[in-house]
Structure 1
Amino acid sequence: MRFLPVRDDALLIELDDLPTTLALFDSLSSDPITGTGELIPGARTLLVFYRPSAVTPEQIVRAVRTRDLDGRVAGEGTLIEIPVTYDGEDLGEVAGLLGLSADEVVRLHTGQDYAVGFTGFAPGFAYLSGGHPALDVPRRSSPRTRIPAGSVALAGTFSGVYPRESPGGWQLIGTTEARMWNLSRERPALLLPGDRVRFVEVSGGGRAAVSVSAASDSAGESSSAPAGTPTAEAEHGLEILDPGMLTLLQDLGRPGYASMGVSTSGALDPVSLRAANRLVGNPSREAALELTFGRLRLRARGEQVLAVTGAPVPLTISTPAGADGGSARTRSVAVGGPFALGAGEELVLGRPTSGLRSYLAVRGGFALDPVLGSLSTDVLAGLGPAPVTAGAVLPVCTPASGIRAVALPGPPTVDAVDAVDASTEVVLDVILGPRTDWFSADAVDALTGQSWLVSARSNRVGLRLEGEPLTRVVGAELPSEGTVSGAIQIPPNGQPVLFLADHPLTGGYPVIGAVATHHLPLAGQLPPGARIRFRPIGPFAAYSLADNPEVTP
């Protein structure tokens, strides 16, 4: 058992195998360590989040060492039968790799039950272990850019079903009509850790229903309309005339759904989101509009109070002729303060003078239905409201009586956002680990010793960085393990990807370090062309590694 630093609020526990990992996951889920939060199991690791104000890594290590991991009984969860038509593009190639016929591959795949080990990659995607040991095949050397939803696939000793269309490198052996993710169900994810899975061949192209034993009808198939999206025009709201490059609804995210393969997501600059809400008198976690590169134009329906924070943008209000008995006119308002927008008036947000993302909050918040408790749009998972489009009307709640705007003691933006532009070199604090030992000392020096360029291919999933490639000294394939926002993952080309809020829950490339939590908002404001220099800081504050030799810095 090893304890590896991940971030200043997260610890990775490396164990011998998946059963031991699940035993610890069960133990910490049923009897949590005070101060710990969400748990993300991987193939042989457990990612533990914690509140540094409530518990130290040393206390977590001591508590974990006392846990009895021998009590878990494999295969004791719900049995779910999934009908499969074995028509996958790679079935013949898989058979050839294994020295079997296609029929023998199908017989082995349906002949033993699988267990849901952990989730990740996408909501509803479960890593299934425990099948026949002969079904051990490598991932494809060249991943596909498009794999259809419902594809049944193999990779290594794992089996899985793609819940939605996505890229991927697993070997495709069949298809199923079972819906792995459905928000209209009480339990959106069909498969959760601890469940058992049996694949059943559908002969003759027929259709079979999903079978669930010892469970409610939560696995039943039903359709669902997109949640969180306005379906009718509102008399009191904001009418979008031009959404700009990308405008999304974002709040502080949806923590607590890792067991379904759902990451937290949320605003990339939560400091600015909270500030915008405070300025209009909303609770700090209320949803706001997150604008990338500005250029939003909207019209008020009814009287509204707004505020804009984050990346500073020019704000221009146009009053149409006759709106209040006068002639048409325009006025400017300032970022970082509340302002009124009269009924029929239009607001235009220009291009940021620095930074990348601006946040627009409206007093009362948006009257939309949340998805798993949040209005955040997760672009990787496809969860939450769709991006805002021209013609959409976002209804606004009537403010609660007595709410008021709150004056802020200074610019309500992240540190140095006013200086972040395409010519800026920004220093980000980074905690090295958990897989720093997969790289040479020269590679670690290259990570922290050079200036990295933020590529134009960056998005809410992560910043793609360009510079001198980092080389690995461990060439083995890393079993999938939990990842965090700020993780610096190194793919085979050696060019880092700095994960942001919409990153995948688990990953299979080694992470050499992670940006400290206090610099994550700043990372979310970096535009293409900006440069990053990483500054390593201690793996744990007030924590003696010498007293805990099993903790690897």
Structure 2
Amino acid sequence: MIPLRYGRHALLVECEDLDEVAALHAELARRRRAGTLPPVHDLVPAERTVLIDGLDDPAALAAQLVTWTPTPVEAARGPAIHLAVHYDGPDLDEVAEAWGVPRDQVAAIHSAHEYRVAFCGFAPGFAYLTGLPERYHLPRRRTPRPSVPPGFVAVAGPYTGVYPSASPGGWNLIGATDAELWDLRRDEPALLVPGGTVRFVPASGRPAASPSGGPVCREPARVRDAARERDPAREPYPESEAGPAAGPAAGPAVEILRAGALTTVQDLGRPGYAHLGVPRSGALDLAAHRLANRLVGNEPEAATLETTVSGLTLRALAPTLVAVCGAVAPIRLDGRPAPWCAPIALRPGQTLDVGAAARGVRSYVAFAGGVAVESVLGSRSTDLLAGLGARPSQTGRNGLRDGDLLPLGAPTGPPRPADTHPVTAPAAPGSVLELPVLPGPRPASFPAAAWRVLTGGEYVVSAASNRIALRLDGPALERGGPDTIPSEGAVLGAIQVPADGRPIVFLADHPPTGGYPVIGVVPAAALGPAAQAPPGARLRFRATGHRGVPG
């Protein structure tokens, strides 16, 4: 086992194989239960690594790890799951060409094997399935799609996977299934769990019953023709017909009159579930979120509303105190100017309008008592990648809607003034945002020239950026190895470099695992300005720490 520093608060432990990964993860979990492991946020097993995230002193644990001898874990064979698949994905022709077979033979090849769930990650319910013969292994796509609709069956490297929800993805899409891979209404939300086995059944020739007697998921509706004719990253499927974010309010509440481009409920996030593929989520600009809560008397963990670019309009249905921080934007109370970064008393029936951001991207609206939507896995945050929270979205493009009612909690304390109002938005149009960056876990994976380009070049924030990642246009970074790496855990602020060389900075909704190398890490405390950088903003990375030196 080789422990590698990963940013300021994490270790990435390299293992020999999946068996050693399982043994180390079991040992870490045992020590955590016994209270002999330092407090951590997440333990994330992957193909050849275990990520230990949230450490106060990574160096101290690294020194201990090299003395451990974890006990091998006996593999447990889980229930066999049969998934009916319509093999007509948008990458089917490319896969057939790479495999050297006719298009109609891909289904026969892919469904001829039994697969084992090696580990989970990337997104809730996303399982990495082993069992595809090596001659059919394919690299990930050179440029990942910003969004892949749910249900697509895909292959990459030695793995097969099924996207459980709309999410970014660089795998090759060969078909689709209607199986529910992740459902919080089940006792076990994940359909595919480590140790389980999976068989794929071509939909057109599905047998009446599973050969092994296991469950067979219903035959999927035919993949929409549009999915085969266009890139689903550009035009995802229409949003789900989910009900309102909250029903009629029995107590204090606010009504959303104008939801704007994207408004979501956010708190400090839900660390601790990355091993299930659940991102941390939470407010992107934590300083603004905390300040807004302070101004109305809340604790930092109270839920706020995070708006994007165009703000929102709401109506108070009960007396409440509200504050708006983050992006600099005009605030109006019943049409009259109201203060920004200050408490505002709302009477029943009054409307508050947060206008379009003049500086920055995201505003945070806090209410005394907090937004009291139902908690999911210990957090009220809406996670658009995982589909968790007050307004799960199947497209990753929408949060709250016009007409939604949001309950409010009981006030917990008096308003607390602030001597300073931190503004993480860019200082002015045309200014250059500077972000500190630490080396990634494997500095030797990139030539020295790539680090010099990253820390010496200038980048522009792409319009494709979202809560998942800040995508950048600018100097391409040279790679020192293969286009992809074995999937492994990723930390908040990690800078991935896909095959096209354009860096991607992971934000709060980022996938817990990824298969592109990481050249650096932006410390979490410095990510607020990144969250407030609008498309077109100029950005530079400033090296901090010593490249290639542990600690």
Q: Bin the TM-score by the shorter chain.
A: 0.7 to 0.9
CA change 1:171–1:377 in 2 (3 A) is: same
Aligned position for 1:258: 274
Aligned match of 2:337 in 325, 332, 336?
Answer: 332
Name the amino acid aligned to 1:43. Answer: E
Q: Does 2:48 match 1:44?
A: yes
Q: Write the distance in 1 (CA, Å) between the matches of 2:341 and 2:12.
A: 39
Higher alpha-carbon deviation: 444-453 or 165-174: 165-174
Q: After TM superposition, give the deviation of residue 171 of structure 1 in Å.
A: 4.4
Aligned position for 1:243: 259
Aligned match of 2:417 in 391, 396, 408?
Answer: 408
Q: After TM superposition, give the deviation of residue 536 of structure 1 in Å.
A: 1.7
**Does the 8 Å contact 2:84/2:206 carry over to 1?**
no
Q: After TM superposition, give the deviation of residue 185 of structure 1 in Å.
A: 1.0
Aligned position for 1:350: 355
Within 5 Å, which residues of 2 pair with 1:4-153? 4-32=4-32, 33-52=37-56, 56-69=57-70, 71-74=72-75, 76-85=76-85, 87-89=87-89, 97-98=98-99, 113-133=114-134, 135-139=136-140, 149-153=150-154
Name the amino acid aligned to 1:10. Answer: A
CA RMSD of aligned residues (A): 3.5
Q: Does 2:330 match 1:314?
A: yes
CA change 1:209–1:235 in 2 (3 A) is: farther
Name the amino acid aligned to 1:34. Answer: P
- Return the TM-score normalized by structure 1: 0.83
Identity of matched residues, %: 43
Q: Write the distance in 2 (CA, Å) between the matches of 1:369 and 1:429.
A: 36
Name the amino acid aligned to 2:183. Answer: N
Tell me the SS of whatever aligns to 2:298.
coil
**Cα deviations by residue, 1:123-175 (Å, 9 ceiling, x for unpaired):** 21110124555543444678778765434333222122222355645445554
Q: After TM superposition, give the deviation of residue 191 of structure 1 in Å.
A: 1.9
Q: Write the distance in 1 (CA, Å) between the matches of 2:373 and 2:211.
A: 32
Aligned match of 2:346 in 316, 324, 341?
Answer: 341
Aligned match of 2:502 in 490, 495, 508?
Answer: 495
**Cα deviations by residue, 1:82-140 (Å, 9 ceiling, x for unpaired):** 23346345778757755679999777756664332222332211101245555434446
Aligned position for 1:521: 528
Number of residues paired by the alignment? Answer: 518
Name the amino acid aligned to 2:352. Answer: L
Higher alpha-carbon deviation: 403-412 or 502-511: 403-412
Tell me the SS of whatever aligns to 1:408.
coil
Aligned position for 1:298: 314
**Does the 8 Å contact 2:38/2:55 carry over to 1?**
no
Tell me the SS of whatever aligns to 1:513.
strand
**Cα deviations by residue, 1:513-552 (Å, 9 ceiling, x for unpaired):** 0111221222222223332222222269xxxx9xxxxx85
Q: After TM superposition, give the deviation of residue 489 of structure 1 in Å.
A: 1.5
Name the amino acid aligned to 1:394. Answer: L
Q: Write the distance in 1 (CA, Å) between the matches of 2:433 and 2:501.
A: 21
Q: Does 2:475 match 1:468?
A: yes
Q: After TM superposition, give the deviation of residue 283 of structure 1 in Å.
A: 2.8
Name the amino acid aligned to 1:42. Answer: A
Larger Rg: 1
- Return the TM-score normalized by structure 2: 0.83
Name the amino acid aligned to 1:316. Answer: R
Q: After TM superposition, give the deviation of residue 377 of structure 1 in Å.
A: 1.8
Q: After TM superposition, give the deviation of residue 25 of structure 1 in Å.
A: 1.6
Q: Structure 1 regions of 5+ residues with no counterpart?
A: 319-329, 546-550
Aligned position for 2:221: none
Higher alpha-carbon deviation: 350-359 or 281-290: 350-359
Name the amino acid aligned to 2:128. Answer: Y
Q: Structure 2 regions of 5+ residues with no counterpart?
A: 219-239, 392-398
Aligned position for 2:164: 163
Q: Write the distance in 2 (CA, Å) between the matches of 1:69 and 1:198.
A: 32
**Does the 8 Å contact 2:143/2:499 carry over to 1?**
no
Q: Write the distance in 1 (CA, Å) between the matches of 2:123 and 2:494.
A: 18
Within 5 Å, which residues of 2 pair with 1:434-473? 434-473=441-480
**Cα deviations by residue, 1:168-190 (Å, 9 ceiling, x for unpaired):** 45445554443111121122111
**Does the 8 Å contact 2:249/2:407 carry over to 1?**
yes
CA change 1:166–1:513 in 2 (3 A) is: closer
Tell me the SS of whatever aligns to 1:311.
strand
**Does the 8 Å contact 1:147/1:166 carry over to 2?**
yes
